[in-house]
Amino acid sequence: MATIALSLSSNADINGKRQVLVRLTITRTNRPRLKSGVFVSAEWMRDGVLTIPKRGKLNFLEIKEAEEAKAQLDDYISRLTHICNQLGDKADKGTLEKALSLTMDLPTSQITSAAIAEAQKTAKKREARKASFFKLWEVFLNEKKKEGLTFNTENGYKVVMRMMARYEGFVRQIDKERKNFAWDIDKVSREDIEDFIDYARNEHTLQHEYPSIFASLLMTPPAEACEKRHKKVLESRGENTMKFIAKKVRAFFKWINEKGYTSNMPLKDLQIKSEQYGTPWFLTIDERNKIADFDLTDSPKLEAQRDIFIFQCLIGCRVSDLFALTKSSVVNGGIEYIPRKTKDNKPVVVRVPLNGRAQAILEKYKDYKGKKLFPFISPQKYNDAIKEILTKCGIVRVVTVRNTLTGEQEQKPLNSIASSHMARRTFIGNLYKQVKDPNLIGKLSGHCEGSRAFARYRDIDEDLMKETVSLID
């Protein structure tokens, strides 16, 4: 008979609770450790025993929470022990976890080897249905990539795929009437999609309410929904993100309908409004030059990232294209590259002549080893460095920005919202002030002709507006 020892995870969740880990000793060589899904305060565990604190030390709600946690843990251990006895020599970690998830709706007394085997058969049928749905997503993405799907857009689709997988698992565990729910392209309804959209909007709060369920959901997406992502805390999503999700789901169902996989079109008449964006604030030329000339010799690593940022401000490429630049990208006094957004579909070579400041930066790093143009770091660390650089340089003027979650206007210092994309906006915005020709600037920035992106730059400069009004003085 297996013996059990309890311990706590070294990692705490967002509420400071730690998950109870269960170590089973079946034989000397078979000692699987399982995650119970029960989270408790560290002080409740003493010498491997979960003990409810005495009344007086905790308030009523805390005592109730402790009692519920102990009841959940007792039930988990009881079920685990019973299943372990039923499986005998087959009781390894994977088999135990699978049997626990498949028999969660059965009373412990009814968990027999036959019941486990039957549950496994049902699960295989369910997995086959689920695999066909997510397999279609894979086929959809592969075809779209051939048509020119960009890397970022592909990742966006995969985010939605994983979200749909989590929704499927969540519904099964939380809704007894739909415990066998699986996405079915022939049966999915408009109501199903709207319920999923509502779930996506509130997923971060549901994680707080059902931490043990999400601990499992976040770790086990289907293989077809791309690689595992071990993200512990989900974030709230704004209305632009919700519109993005709805558009991606609608595009998928439109595609499977057009390809003849199903005649079901649950989102045929769904109207999705366009995303709303705020004013694209950027650095003035004086601010850019102040950063470029600021003495950072006491911080060599930060100085290197400052130089990269200024170089990006001078050529205006996206950060993904910036990080792909190599020494061979420098051609006849200019930078030449194919934007990742167009490289798979009618690729266009963007050429940006280098001014004196840009050439000086290249000269500074001419002896940098390797194929890359500069000592690049990860995109996130690059963004963090940009914020630190602006702070050191005193670029802290307050601008009005749109809150992506609420849609409301907010005032924030420029250094707190700075990122690599502001370098691109700095390039475009300052050129637009001087040239006022979107098509010419588009050739330098990689925007397609007639891009709507330039419409956002028309409201940003007081001097430009005064200059325009003076024409009718």
Residues 64-81 pLDDT 10s: 888 888 888 888 888 888
| Parallel/antiparallel/unpaired status of strands 398-402 and 350-353 | unpaired
**% pLDDT > 70, the chain:** 80
Query: Which residue, among 267, 128, 112, has the nearest Cα to 192 in the 3D structure?
Result: 267
Neighbours of 179 (CB within 10 A): 12
For the chain, the residue count is 473
Amino acid at 175: D
The residue ranges of every structural domain in the chain are 3-111, 125-258, 285-470
pLDDT tens figures, 97-156: 877 777 777 777 777 777 777 777 766 655 655 568 888 898 899 888 887 777 778 888
CA 333 to chain centre: 38
Q: For residue 104, which of 5, 179, 3 has the smallest C-alpha distance? A: 179
Say if residues 244 and 404 touch (Cβ distance below 8 Å).
no
Containing H/E element for 120?
Answer: helix 113-146
Q: With pLDDT > 90 as the criterion, what percentage of the chain qualifies?
A: 21
Global confidence as pTM: 0.48
Q: Tell me: the pLDDT tens digits for 351-375?
A: 888 999 999 999 999 999 888 999 9
Alpha carbon distance 335, 327 (integer Å):
10
Q: How far apart are CA 214 and CA 224, in angstroms?
A: 19
pLDDT tens digits for 41-67?
A: 888 887 778 777 776 666 777 778 888
pLDDT at residue 233, rounded to an integer: 77
Mean pLDDT of 452-458: 54
Using CA atoms, how far apart are residues 472 and 399, in angstroms rounded to an integer? 30
Q: For residue 223, what pLDDT is reported?
A: 45
The β-bridge relationship of strands 334-337 and 330-331 is antiparallel
Higher pLDDT, 401 or 405: 401
Q: CA Rg, the chain, in Å?
A: 28
Alpha-carbon span 314 to 357, nearest angstrom: 8
Q: What is the pLDDT of residue 356?
A: 92
**pLDDT per residue over 217-237, tens digit each?**
876 655 444 444 545 678 888
In order of 95, 129, 137, the CA distances from 125 in angstroms are: 18, 6, 19
- Map tokens 């630049």 to a residue: 325
Using the predicted structure, report yes or no on whether residue 453 has a pLDDT greater than 60.
no
More reliable by pLDDT, 24 or 357? 357
pLDDT tens figures, 323-359: 989 999 999 999 998 886 554 455 678 888 899 999 9
What fold does the segment set 285-470 form as a domain?
A: hpI Integrase; Chain A (1.10.443)
Instruction: Provide the terminal-to-terminal Cα distance of the chain, rounded to the nearest Å.
Output: 95
Provide the β-strand partners of residue 22: 6, 34
Burial of 284 from C-beta contacts in 10 A (0-12 / 13-18 / 19+): middle
In this predicted model, which residue has the larger pLDDT, 444 or 198?
198
Mean pLDDT in residue range 315-327: 89
Residue with tokens 């500074």: 364
Cα–Cα distance measured from residue 366 to residue 10, given in angstroms and rounded to the nearest whole number: 46
- What number is the average pLDDT over the span 18-31? 85
Query: What would the two tokens of residue 290 be?
Result: 């102040």
Q: What is the pLDDT of residue 227?
A: 45
